[in-house]
């Protein structure tokens, strides 16, 4: 039986005074939130409904809400990857009046990783979005192989230095060459140095960027554009990165299928004992927690991205923003503050079946959290030198990934590729009105 009176919904056994509707990506973070939402509902009398979509429909839905000035959702999740266009749509509510309200919880903005709100959650100088998961790039590797005395002796004899997870990109090349081998003597390689993915939808760009941004900035603190949005990535350093990637792929150091491999699939060959190391967004290493990989997980450790000149990675986020057209702004704000609060942030790792990568700096130092997701320590350290995405990220991923693939398979030289990519990005910048 159900009875509706003035905004209160009465059902047979319980009541929920108010409802907020949240738009989410169907993935581990929201599944973890759904496990714990009833505590919020009990405490505040507000029911939380998550509407979830897979990646492409989710991105489409977020953009559609903004384009149509929609009011269907009170709280909207969005990816840092699309944040530039999304926050400029003007749909998101500035949060300051709620943060200042003595009757509402604060947001403790300093406990989010540096630069994330500025880069992904600001519009016209106001805070409109906050991180709900934060992620850096990093590596998983087979520590049992790297620590094996026989492997260490062989490596020392061949390369003249101690085997360890590579600190530099040159050492990275040595390590992936060393571990690529035929293990059963049938004359065919069946174990590879690396499981990285170079999919044309964006993963290839990430593999290039991982290396390129460990050079000192090219100009005005950037690697891809100067302050006037002129492309600056057609240079000797970028050529060197492409030449190395081409050398390594053509030598066969990456496990088969790398041209179609997406970010999350980097874990598969590691988990299946077919590769020695692999790099991706560190939240995706949660795939290694799946039951089919339980035998190999104890042999895996985690490490920061190698370097040319300076330790650096990208910090990316999934953000939460409140819809300015919401009729439940205060309830949406309460939920936003609660679900990103340091205590709940830790519990979404320690107390839930699914794991939400933490958004709070303090959570990255929590030993109980480290025990559940062992890569948190590396990710937390990486955040100290991490930088936000470059401008025009969506276009960079979309335009550069297929061009990088063309270099890997030998259809374009590195110089031709960077000339083409620069010409494409100049057009993108002009179309955007710069």
Tens of pLDDT along 376-423? 989 989 988 899 999 888 899 999 999 999 999 999 999 999 999 999
Write down all domains in the chain, each with its CATH number in brackets: 2-134+317-385 (3.40.190.10), 165-303 (3.40.190.10)
Which residues face 24 on adjacent strands?
Answer: 52
Sign of CA dihedral 147, 148, 151, 156: positive
**Residue 259 — φ and ψ, nearest 5°?**
-75, -20
pLDDT tens digits, one per residue of 124-171: 999 999 999 999 999 999 999 999 999 999 999 999 999 999 999 999
> Looking at the predicted structure, is the pLDDT value of residue 11 above 90?
no
The percent of the chain in helix, strand and coil, each rounded to the nearest 5, is 45, 20, 35
Give CA 46 to chain center in angstroms.
Answer: 30
pTM of the prediction?
0.86
Number of residues that this document lists for the chain: 434
pLDDT number for residue 384: 86
**CA atoms of 264 and 266, how far apart (whole Å):** 5
> Looking at the predicted structure, is the pLDDT value of residue 53 above 80?
yes
Helices (H), 91-235: 96-100, 116-120, 143-146, 149-159, 169-179, 203-212
Beta strands in 94-150 (DSSP E): 122-123, 126-127, 129-142
| Terminal-to-terminal C-alpha distance of the chain | 59
> Looking at the predicted structure, is the pLDDT value of residue 366 above 70?
yes
Sign of CA dihedral 131, 277, 216, 310: positive
Q: Are 133 and 29 in contact (CB under 8 A)?
A: yes
pLDDT tens digits, one per residue of 247-295: 999 999 999 999 999 888 999 999 999 999 999 999 889 889 888 998 9
Q: List the 8-11 sheet strands across, edge first.
A: 2-5, 8-11, 15-16
Q: Which structure tokens are listed for 60?
A: 């489409």
Q: Are 34 and 41 in contact (CB under 8 A)?
A: no
> Looking at the predicted structure, is the pLDDT value of residue 321 above 50?
yes
In angstroms and rounded to an integer, the radius of gyration of the C-alpha atoms of the chain is 23
pLDDT confidence bin for 15, thresholds 50/70/90 = low
**CA atoms of 276 and 221, how far apart (whole Å):** 34
Neighbours of 260 (CB within 10 A): 13
Give CA 170 to chain center in angstroms.
Answer: 25
Q: Which structure tokens are listed for 299?
A: 């042999």
**CA atoms of 367 and 377, how far apart (whole Å):** 9
Q: Indicate the burial class of 185 (C-beta count within 10 angstroms; 0-12, 13-18, 19 or more).
A: exposed
Helix (H), strand (E) at residue 14: none
pLDDT number for residue 168: 99
DSSP 313-335: -BEEEEEEEEBTT-S-HHHHHHH
How many Cα atoms are found within 13 Å in the side-chain-facing hemisphere of 216? Answer: 2
3-state SS class at 127: strand
**CA atoms of 36 and 60, how far apart (whole Å):** 27
Q: Indicate the burial class of 339 (C-beta count within 10 angstroms; 0-12, 13-18, 19 or more).
A: buried
> What percentage of residues in the chain have a pLDDT greater than 90?
85
pLDDT number for residue 13: 43
Nearest 5°: the CA angle 369, 374, 380 is 75
**CA atoms of 371 and 365, how far apart (whole Å):** 11
Q: Which structure tokens are listed for 13?
A: 């056994």
**CA atoms of 126 and 337, how far apart (whole Å):** 17
* b/e burial code for range 3-20 (CB count within 10 A of at least 16 → b): eeeeeeeeeeeeeeebeb
Nearest 5°: the CA angle 272, 277, 280 is 95
């Amino acid at each position: 039986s159900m009875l509706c009176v003035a905004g209160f919904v009465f059902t047979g056994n319980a009541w929920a005074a108010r409802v907020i509707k949240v738009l989410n990506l169907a993935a581990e973070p929201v599944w973890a939130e759904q496990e714990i939402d009833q505590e919020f509902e009990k405490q505040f009398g507000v029911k939380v409904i998550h509407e979830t979509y897979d990646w492409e429909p989710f991105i489409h839905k977020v953009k559609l809400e903004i384009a149509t000035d929609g009011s269907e959702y009170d709280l909207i999740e969005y990816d840092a990857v699309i944040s530039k266009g999304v926050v400029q749509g003007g749909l998101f509510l500035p949060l300051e009046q709620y943060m200042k309200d003595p009757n509402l919880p604060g947001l403790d903005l300093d406990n989010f990783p540096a630069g994330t709100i500025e880069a992904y959650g600001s519009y016209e100088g106001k805070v409109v979005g906050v991180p709900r998961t934060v992620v850096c790039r990093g590596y998983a590797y087979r520590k049992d192989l790297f620590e094996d005395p026989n492997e260490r002796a062989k490596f020392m004899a061949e390369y003249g230095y101690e085997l360890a997870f590579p600190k530099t990109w040159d050492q990275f090349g040595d390590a992936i060459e060393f571990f690529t081998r035929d293990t059963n003597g049938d004359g065919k390689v069946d174990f590879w140095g690396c499981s990285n993915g170079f999919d044309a939808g964006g993963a290839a760009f990430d593999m290039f960027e991982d290396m390129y941004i460990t050079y000192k900035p090219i100009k005005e603190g950037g690697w891809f554009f100067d302050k006037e949005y002129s492309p600056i990535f057609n240079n000797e350093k970028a050529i060197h990165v492409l030449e190395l990637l081409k050398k390594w792929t053509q030598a066969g150091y990456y496990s088969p299928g790398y041209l179609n491999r997406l970010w999350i699939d980097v874990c598969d060959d590691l988990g299946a004992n077919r590769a020695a190391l692999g790099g991706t967004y560190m939240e995706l290493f949660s795939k290694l927690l799946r039951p089919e990989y339980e035998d190999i997980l104890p042999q895996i450790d985690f490490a920061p991205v190698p370097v040319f000149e300076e330790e650096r990675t990208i910090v990316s986020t999934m953000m939460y923003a409140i819809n300015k057209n919401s009729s439940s702004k205060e309830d949406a704000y309460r939920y936003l503050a609660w679900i990103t609060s340091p205590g709940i942030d830790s519990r979404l790792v320690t107390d839930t079946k699914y794991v939400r990568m933490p958004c709070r700096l303090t959570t990255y130092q929590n030993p109980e959290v480290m025990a559940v997701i062992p890569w948190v320590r590396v990710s937390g350290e990486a955040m100290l030198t991490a930088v936000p995405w470059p401008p025009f990220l969506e276009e960079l991923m979309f335009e550069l990934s297929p061009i990088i693939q063309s270099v890997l398979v030998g259809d374009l030289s590195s110089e031709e590729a960077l000339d083409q990519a620069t010409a494409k990005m100049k057009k993108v910048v002009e179309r955007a009105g710069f």
